[in-house]
Amino acid sequence: MKLMTGKEYIESIRKLNIQVYMMGKKIDNPVDDPILRPSLNSVRMTYDLAQKPEYQDLMTAVDPDTGNKVNRFLHIHRGTDDLIKKVKMQRLLGQKTAACFQRCVGMDAFNAIYSTTFEIDKKCGTRYFENFKKFLRYAQENDLTIDGAMTDPKGDRSLAPHEQADPDLYLRVVERRPDGIVVRGAKAHQTGILNSHEVCVMPTIAMSPEDKDYAVAFAVPLDTKGISLIIGRQSCDTRKLEGGTIDVGNAEFGGVEALTVFEDVFVPNDRIFLNGETEFAGMLVERFAGYHRQSYGGCKVGVGDVLIGAAAVAADYNGAAKASHVKDKLIEMTHLNETLYSCGIACSCEGNKTESGCYIINLLLANVCKQNVTRFPYEIVRLAEDIAGGLMVTAPSEKDLRDPKIGPIVDKYLKGIASVSTENRLRILRLIENLSLGTAAVGYRTESMHGAGSPQAQRIMIARQGNLPAKKDLAKALAGIVEGNKCSN
């Protein structure tokens, strides 16, 4: 079994006939589109790094059922060691791309579906686990990128799926046939969907029996009839059309999200992993969300490493590196970033075995991890902007710098320390801008807030997992409280 090179991966995506729309137009060649290509390059890195001898331990794993070496993004975690390596791999990729490299969603979906289908089959006598294992082997053998699609548009948040004015606001089964099902609906904010070979769909919330048609999980190739993608806009995205490399901040890498529409898509029986067993929808959601909340303790930390480095370089180029307040801000940024990493590692170390043999993270600690991610990157960005200075958003364009008449003026007046070129100073400031306000801010800021669930979703889980009664008992025992006694003497 051969792992794909990055180049082979790109050519394999090129062969798919994906229906993509952006800015009111159909995009016939998304692979070479200048707005879309950086996000494909980020996924490419998950293939390129898996080829490098120095990253084998992190980027690949051996599947104990087949003995085959697979890309870790297609691996089922078989111990806490696997969970820890996952977080380290994500930090590494964040460092190399300073973007969302997208392939984690499928990895987290795989692990959640693996353990959940095992438990559904045990209780309901279904064959979802066998179906899923077959799909897993296929994905591993072909080294595929699989997108995990969970978030429905959700319409009126106060209503259950079956109560919505428009029944399609949650993805649902509209027809049951002897050979499979037909589904309709959409999944919003789908990270990585454009760069995936297949999409693995899951429900987005816990469900009651009335929501039977909405409790559905399955996988289909991305170019299946009826699937179309509408690409989301990002701040400064059209800078990528200008042809330069400075103003985009990060010319090679990025991330892209899409509204993914399923218009009566047929799913064959052997690709169905949940079909009406509403009592298991919550388990699937909770496990997927838990894994993805762990993921953020790796990927965002890697991007944070780049941002901290960029702020330090900007200070060097300004001649401000020795100022004690600058040093202190860099220490604070590092402290915040490493706290996130500590959470990612901790929830992995404290993971445990599910009935299927697949390991799951400690759900309380994974939710604490993500709750911190909803805050700390914002503070890290604030400090980076503080160190960078206003030029980060007021600098003239690359075209001005290259202009024969204006260029020398820009070069003269925007210089920092004498030994560093103005161009390099602008490059580092534009990278900070990209991570703080530009296209990468989708991945580093707003995704930190809402990706893998908005802050309140983690607080609900923290409340559920925090075991307050046990903590009350600890306090009562030490305070010498014996309840029921009206008087102690």
Among residues 117, 126, 191, 278, which one is catalytic?
A: 191
Note whether 100 binds ligand SF4 by CB under 6 A. Answer: yes
Residue 451 is a binding residue for Fe ion (CB under 5 A): yes
| Shortest Å distance, C-beta 472 to ligand SF4 | 35
Which residue lies nearer to Fe ion by CB, 6 or 451? 451
| Binds ligand SF4 by CB under 6 A, chosen from 3, 49, 105, 301 | 105
Q: Confirm whether 349 is a catalytic residue.
A: no
The token pair at 222 is 């991305």
Q: What share of the chain is helix, strand, coil (3-state, %, to 5)?
A: 55, 15, 30
Taking the least distance from each CB to Fe ion, the nearer of 290 and 451 is 451
**Residue 104 near which of Fe ion, ligand SF4, none (CB within 5-8 Å, type-dependent):** ligand SF4
* Part in contact with ligand SF4 (CB under 6 A); list of ranges 80-88, 121-129, 275-283, 293-301: 293-301
Neighbours of 56 (CB within 10 A): 14
Q: ∠ at Cα 308 (104, 73), nearest 5°?
A: 10
Residue 451 within binding range of ligand SF4, rule CB under 6 A: yes
Does 292 participate in catalysis according to the annotation?
A: yes
With binding defined as CB under 6 A, does residue 191 bind ligand SF4?
yes
The residue (of 105 and 347) whose beta carbon lies closer to ligand SF4 is 105
Tokens standing for residue 10: 């790109």
Residue 178 contacts residue 268 (beta carbons within 8 Å):
no
Task: Tell me the site size for Fe ion, rule CB under 5 A.
Answer: 1
Look up 296 and say whether it is catalytic. Answer: yes
Catalytic residue list contains 130: no
Any catalytic annotation for residue 299?
yes
Contact set for ligand SF4, span 331-390 (CB under 6 A): none
Q: Is residue 295 a contact point for ligand SF4 (CB under 6 A)?
A: yes
- Among 10-18, 54-62, 254-262, 451-459, which window interacts with Fe ion (CB under 5 A)? 451-459
Q: Long-range contacts made by residues 167-176, C-beta under 8 angstroms, separation at least 24?
A: 170/203, 170/204, 170/211, 170/214, 171/201, 171/203, 171/214, 171/216, 171/262, 172/213, 172/214, 172/216, 173/213, 173/214, 173/216, 173/275, 173/276, 174/213, 174/264, 175/264
User: How far is it, in rounded angstroms, from Cα 199 to Cα 149?
Assistant: 7
Q: Does 299 bind ligand SF4 (CB under 6 A)?
A: yes
Sole window of 60-68, 100-108, 163-171, 349-357 interacting with ligand SF4 (rule: CB under 6 A): 100-108
* CA separation for the pair 15, 13 (Å, rounded): 5
447 is catalytic: yes
Q: Is 102 in the site for ligand SF4 (CB under 6 A)?
A: yes
Q: How many residues bind ligand SF4 (CB under 6 A)?
A: 12
Cα separation of the two ends of the chain: 76
Of residues 9, 104, 117, 214, which has the active-site annotation? Answer: 104
Known active-site residue 104: yes
Calpha distance 452→4 (Å, rounded): 28
**Which of 170, 296, 359, 444 is an active site residue?**
296
Rounded Cα–Cα distance for residues 74 and 72 (Å): 5
DSSP string, 119-135: HHHHHH---HHHHHHHH
Min dist CB 1 to Fe ion, Å, is 28
Q: How far apart are CA 326 and CA 332, in angstroms?
A: 10
Report the interface residues with ligand SF4, using CB under 6 A: 90, 100-102, 104-105, 191, 295-296, 299, 447, 451
Report the interface residues with Fe ion, using CB under 5 A: 451
Catalytic residue numbers? 100, 104, 191, 257, 292, 296, 299, 447
